[in-house]
Amino acid sequence: MRKIVDTLLPTTMVGSYPRPKWFTYQLLGRDVQVAFKAVDHAEAFSDATRLAIQDQEEAGLDIVTDGQMVFDDYVGVIGSFCWYWYERLPGFGQAKEEHPSAVGAQSWTKEVALLSDWGGVNNDGPVGTGPVRLAELYKLAKPHATRPIKVSVGAGPVNLAWHVYFNHYKNPRELSEALVPVFNAEMKALVAAGAEFLQLEDLGAWLPIFTNNEADYRWIADVFAACCDGVDAKIALHFCYGNAWGNRLAGLFPVGYGPVLPHFYDLPIDQFVLDFANREMVDLDSLRSLPSDKEVAIGVIDVRTTMVETPEQVADRIRKVLAVVPPERVCLTTDCGMKPLPRMIAKMKLEALAKGARLVREELGVRQLVAAT
């Protein structure tokens, strides 16, 4: 397993961070190299990225992200998590359609309403590469950081196939497999630019729960593996419980990680990034089968509430994790992206994360001293 930092129980966050209130620029589908021809937009983006990184470093995180200031203020708050890709890759319509899950829905649940707000997209032709520019965005962020940067890569191919009307490809599998070269190229470009830690983001890991076909896990795992093929970096896989408007889509994902995670144990990745804080740390026993060559980044900060955890609460969550997974294979993180939160709350939560980690590190250090004597 590759190590990015030598610190025991390293702290990080998943990816997105709240935009400063003054950063109101929107890309609206434009290539960043087109949008940033406007000096005020380029400077504002750079300043917002610098502040997102600065907040994380001041809070005490060991590994930071660029905060994903590139995400527009779309539907679901983080709607451009998907739309950023749809707008830049050939084969997708530009209009927001009704979400496929909402068409003919027998009951208008919270989950259906949130997906309807998120919207659907037409797949009208073959997909291919486009100006996603992840490597360029990494190069813009790198000078602002004094600590290692983790780069979030997503929404992933299976996730992108979740919101689609299939007018060209026949089904999610065909579309996902067609997107693999796009993601593989973006990840390799990031490595060539100097990135050492990549996090593939794809809620599509949950898809077989809805198809009721366990065989789907195989092709989904193959898609994830193909995205990572030949990518010389530490690689994590994150699949959360949804985060539209800061809501967990509990009705869509009724099961825990236990029935799902083992299907991805053979992936050529280093780490799984999983939500636990918003579920009161239930389902931790599912990690007892985690292979010895895999790490886990555990969400110990609930990003779906504005209540700020105390360091002691965070430390208690960490202790529960360490009862299942050895500390050498545990990273500490937020449950999901922080974009829906107020910036002040987000920073306070990250401070609690860093302080809670220090409390547990000190406890572990004391135990080692006692054992040595």
Q: Does 139 map to a domain?
A: yes
Instruction: Give the domain extent around 151.
Output: 32-79+131-159+195-372
Q: Does 85 map to a domain?
A: no
Nearest to 13 by CA among 348, 370, 254: 348
Task: Provide the pLDDT for residue 104.
Answer: 86
Nearest to 206 by CA among 248, 262, 276, 257: 257
Q: Report pTM.
A: 0.96
Per-residue confidence in pLDDT tens, the chain, 373 aa: 899 999 999 999 999 999 999 999 999 999 999 999 999 999 999 999 999 999 999 999 999 999 999 999 998 888 899 999 999 999 999 999 999 989 988 888 888 898 899 999 999 999 999 999 999 999 999 999 999 999 999 999 999 999 999 999 999 999 999 999 999 999 999 999 999 999 999 999 999 988 999 999 999 999 999 999 999 999 999 999 888 888 877 666 677 899 999 999 999 999 999 999 999 999 999 999 999 999 999 999 999 999 999 999 999 999 999 999 999 999 999 999 999 999 999 999 999 999 999 999 999 986 665 566 5
Task: Provide the pLDDT for residue 76.
Answer: 85
Q: Does 9 map to a domain?
A: no
Q: Where in the chain does DSSP place strands (E)?
A: 121-123, 151-153, 164-166, 197-201, 234-238, 271-274, 295-301, 330-334
**Share of the chain residues as helix, strand and coil, in percent rounded to the nearest 5:** 45, 10, 45
Distance CA 83, CA 160 (A): 9
Our count of domains for the chain comes to 1
Q: Does 21 map to a domain?
A: no
Distance CA 258, CA 115 (A): 25
Task: Provide the pLDDT for residue 366.
Answer: 61
Provide the β-strand partners of residue 297.
273, 331
Q: Does 153 map to a domain?
A: yes
Q: Does 321 map to a domain?
A: yes
**Cβ neighbours of residue 287 under 8 Å, at least 6 residues apart?**
257, 261, 296, 321, 324, 325
Q: Does 281 map to a domain?
A: yes
Distance CA 135, CA 140 (A): 9
- Which domain CATH number covers 225? 3.20.20.210
Nearest to 130 by CA among 171, 174, 186: 186
Q: Does 74 map to a domain?
A: yes
